[in-house]
Each structure stands twice: as structure tokens, then as C-alpha cells.
């Protein structure tokens, strides 16, 4: 796993081992960032379900002002901190241990880009998406990574799916504010 482009281009990232870990492939990651590339500079980014932190780190590398990493696993956040240190991005990040839904409901921050990559087929997005939608700035985007067959809500707060991309067994859905 590596940073694809930007300030930390080519930097190797570490990840956790095990069946519960499902790092986003470079092909999918490239697709995600192609879809939001013009919104990244100076953005306040949220990497919910951060895992190794590779998506948020890629965002910082491409010019995001700040990234907030949230995960319920202390081991995952230890990996995030190590990856941030190796890339020199500690000052542009904050790391929170906790449940994604609780964070979404109680955060007072506003984000320009939110990335959600929860465990597949557990309907977690159905709960988290409405809670986080109120924390997204006007013109912001919520990007969800799910299994290709997973059905997502047609509307969540003021947001609805604007684009959908499929990469084999993985689906990326970009939610944008309704006009």
C-alpha cells in the first residue's frame, strides 16, 4: 500500500493484518480521488472508519488542509499515527478513538469531504449517513465505499447519490447536497 500522488507520493504505508482488514486497492483509491480531485485543495476531510488511514493520508498528500481520522480500533489508530508520522502529516491531522455513529452525532466540526468505508453488508451506512450529513459544508461531498450489491439510501438529509462507480465487487457512491 502506498500514497499515489502529491506531497507524499510513493511513500509506503503500513496496514494491519487479519480478516477484518480490507484496504482500499490503488485502482479504487485512484477512482475515488479522480471523482473529487478539484474539491480536495484546502478541504477539511473526515476519514470515518479510518483503518490504516490511507484515504485520509492520500487526501492530505493531495492538498487537504486537515484530516480527522476516526476508528473504533486502537490498533488501527496506532497504524494511522505511524503512517502520519512516516509521511510528516501529524500537524495536519487529528485522530479519534470511538464509534463512528457516536462521532457523527456529536462532532461539532464541519467537513468538506467525508469518506465512509464501514464493514460491508452490515447496514452501518444507513445509520451513519444521516448523522454525518448535517456536518457537511455546502458544496461538500460524502463518498461511501461498499460492496457492489449493497443498497444505499436514496436520500439522506439534504444529500442524495450524484454518481456511482463500480470496480468489480466494490461500489463507490458520491452523495451531494440536493439543490
Three-class SS string for 42-108? Answer: CCEEEEECCCCCHHHHHHHHCCCCEEEEEECCHHHHHHHHHHHHHHCCHHHEEEEECCHHHHHHHCC
Cα separation of 19 and 144, whole Å? 21
The pLDDT score that the predictor gives to residue 157 is: 80
Q: Which three cell numbers, joined as nine digits, stand for 58?
A: 492520500
Q: Which three cell numbers, joined as nine digits, stand for 69?
A: 481520522
CB 4 within 8 A of CB 29: yes
Which parts of the chain sit beneath pLDDT 50? Answer: none
Q: What is the pLDDT of residues 7-27, one digit of tens each?
A: 999 999 998 876 556 778 888
The pLDDT score that the predictor gives to residue 36 is: 92
The pLDDT score that the predictor gives to residue 84 is: 97
Q: Which three cell numbers, joined as nine digits, stand for 36?
A: 473529487
Q: Extract long-range pairs of 117-126: CB within 8 Å, 24+ residues apart.
A: 117/24, 117/48, 117/49, 117/51, 117/55, 117/144, 117/145, 118/48, 118/49, 119/20, 119/49, 120/22, 120/146, 120/147, 120/150, 121/147, 121/150, 124/100, 125/150, 125/152, 125/153, 126/152, 126/153
The pLDDT score that the predictor gives to residue 129 is: 92
Counting every residue written for the chain, the total comes to: 179
Which residues make beta-bridge pairs with 47?
69, 115
Sequence spans of domains, the chain: 26-177
The pLDDT score that the predictor gives to residue 18 is: 61
Can you name the CATH fold of 26-177?
A: Rossmann fold (3.40.50)
The pLDDT score that the predictor gives to residue 17 is: 74
Amino acid at each position: 500500500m502506498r500514497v499515489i500522488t502529491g506531497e507524499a507520493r510513493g511513500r509506503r504505508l503500513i496496514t494491519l493484518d487479519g480478516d477484518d482488514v480490507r484496504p482500499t486497492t490503488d485502482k479504487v483509491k485512484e477512482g475515488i480521488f479522480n471523482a473529487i480531485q478539484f474539491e480536495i485543495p484546502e478541504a477539511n476531510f473526515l476519514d470515518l472508519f479510518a483503518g490504516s488511514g490511507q484515504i485520509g493520508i492520500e487526501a492530505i498528500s493531495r492538498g487537504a488542509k486537515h484530516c480527522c481520522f476516526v476508528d473504533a480500533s486502537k490498533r488501527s489508530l496506532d497504524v494511522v499515527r505511524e503512517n502520519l508520522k512516516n509521511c510528516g502529516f501529524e500537524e495536519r491531522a487529528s485522530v479519534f478513538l470511538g464509534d463512528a455513529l457516536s462521532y457523527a452525532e456529536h462532532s461539532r466540526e464541519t467537513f468538506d469531504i467525508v469518506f465512509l468505508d464501514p464493514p460491508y453488508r452490515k447496514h452501518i451506512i444507513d445509520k451513519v449517513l444521516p448523522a454525518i450529513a448535517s456536518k457537511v459544508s455546502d458544496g461538500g461531498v460524502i463518498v461511501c465505499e461498499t460492496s457492489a450489491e449493497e443498497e444505499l439510501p436514496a436520500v439522506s438529509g439534504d444529500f442524495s447519490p450524484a454518481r456511482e462507480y463500480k470496480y468489480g465487487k466494490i461500489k463507490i457512491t458520491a452523495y451531494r447536497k440536493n439543490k
